[in-house]
Structure 1
Amino acid sequence: MEPETRSPYERALGSRLSELHPVLQRYFAAIPAGSVGVGEGTFQRFGTKHWWLRPVLSWVARRQVIVPGMHHQVPFRIENRTVDGQQTAARTLELESGTWTMVDAVSLSESGQVVDVLGSPALVEAAFEVAADNGGLSLNSRGVTVRLGPIRFPVPKVIRPVIALSERYVAEVARQYVRLTVDVPVLGRVYEYHGSFTYRFEEEA
């Protein structure tokens, strides 16, 4: 079998990829072999205002998923790679407390959903529907699973987080904008980030 050369986003969107802004088409396409996609920018807001989440998020932060506290004007760098049809990302944030990195790997399910696995080792898996939206890209979660080694715990709908992510490119300022929100039934918004960055390809070191 030939190795998959397209990114999960290309395969999920199909012909709708052309509806994205050309800069986003390049961003969501497969990274050329021997290259790494590098983004540098600032998160205006990153994290959660809920202090009572700190104990569990401190543990999750060590698994490189999310970090406790609410942080503002955070410089960050993202490195994207395509490996065997998977899109991997490492986002390194310069927090006041020091450098912290969030990692994930995106693949495509048999049902055509984009599946994002977060953490090292893998801890959270979220399945998304993908849509082209006025030149941007939107992801809306359809399922969340917690992974503890070989054991998988699908989160019941009654308490399942709803994750929404959007990516836009604003030509007037030549920057890409990203926004993510995580809402939980009854509790409301428990996590979010939004920021902007520039993006380029570099040769792999």
Structure 2
Amino acid sequence: MPSSERATDGSTQPHSPFERALGPEAVAALHPRLRAYVGAIPAGHHGVGRGTYEVAGSRRRWLRPVLAVLAREQVLFPAHQRDVPFRIRNDEGPWGRRAQREFGFLSGRRTMVDEVHLVDGRLVDDIGSHRRFRAELEAGVDDGALVLTSTRMLIRVGRHRIPLPRRWSPRLHLVERFDDAAGRQRVDLVLVAPAIGRLYEYRGTFEYRIVGGEDAG
């Protein structure tokens, strides 16, 4: 990663990007199981989860040509389905948290990749296999849940990242909470565009744990 994209606050503490963006008081307000989820993953270990999305994809058929292009970048997919099995694997990289999500659509398995890290003290998510898409994120805690909302979307063109105009840029909203009654973690993500509405979504529950490298499959 170019040095201009590395975390620049000088921290050498073993904290994840989420912990550093939230701060200690907000981290303490998270559900205990979510503190483990957002916390730094020990060296030689991985975070792994398995579950089912109650719904995943986009209902808007006119978007499918665009989504087909984004699928090649491992971003979003031209599908909409209920009861989608999925797996997630999180790894702590040199600069941030790498995630790989595998969706078991009836049309075939699809993989989404992203990396969350800090840039100049801001939490950002670089999305896709070529990291062409970036969401700048605002992180908070609401009733023990982690809430992430995008404040700006950017596209990388060559060496430059170009922000999308706010008047039509999609906005990402993600909530991670722990359901004590079910004993499972719940995720709810939605991508909404002004004047259009919901473009893409996935929501469901999963079980998550930290495992050694040999158990990460």
Q: Would you say same fold, with TM above 0.5? A: yes
* Aligned counterpart, 2:82: 72
- Contact conserved, 1:50 with 1:69, CA < 8 A, in 2? no
SS of equivalent to 1:88:
strand
1:2/1:180 Cα in 2 relative to 1: closer, same or farther (>3 Å)? closer
SS of equivalent to 2:130:
coil
- Contact conserved, 1:146 with 1:152, CA < 8 A, in 2? yes
SS of equivalent to 1:56:
helix
Matched, 1:154 2:163: yes
- Contact conserved, 1:60 with 1:67, CA < 8 A, in 2? yes
- Contact conserved, 1:48 with 1:190, CA < 8 A, in 2? yes
Distance 1:2 1:135 in 2: 26
Instruction: Tell me the TM-score normalised to structure 2 length.
Output: 0.90
Distance 2:109 2:95 in 1: 29
Matched, 1:176 2:185: yes
Distance 2:62 2:43 in 1: 44
Residue deviations 1:21-60, cap 9 Å, x none? 0000000001111000001000111111111111111010
Instruction: Tell me the TM-score normalised to structure 1 length.
Output: 0.95
2:146 to 137, 141, 148: 137
1:146 to partner: Cα distance = 1.1
Q: CA RMSD in A?
A: 1.4
User: Percentage identity across aligned positions?
Assistant: 42
Residue deviations 1:58-81, cap 9 Å, x none? 010010001012121110110001
The gaps in structure 2 that reach 5 residues or longer are: 1-9
Matched, 1:13 2:22: yes
Give the AA of the match of 2:181. Answer: E
* Aligned counterpart, 2:53: 43
What is the aligned residue count? 204
Matched, 1:88 2:98: yes
1:6 to partner: Cα distance = 1.2
Give the AA of the match of 1:104. Answer: D
1:5 to partner: Cα distance = 2.2
1:4 to partner: Cα distance = 5.2
The gaps in structure 1 that reach 5 residues or longer are: none
1:86 to partner: Cα distance = 0.3
Distance 1:12 1:142 in 2: 14
Residue deviations 1:132-161, cap 9 Å, x none? 110111011100001234232210111111
Give the AA of the match of 1:136. Answer: A
Distance 1:105 1:148 in 2: 18
Distance 1:65 1:2 in 2: 30
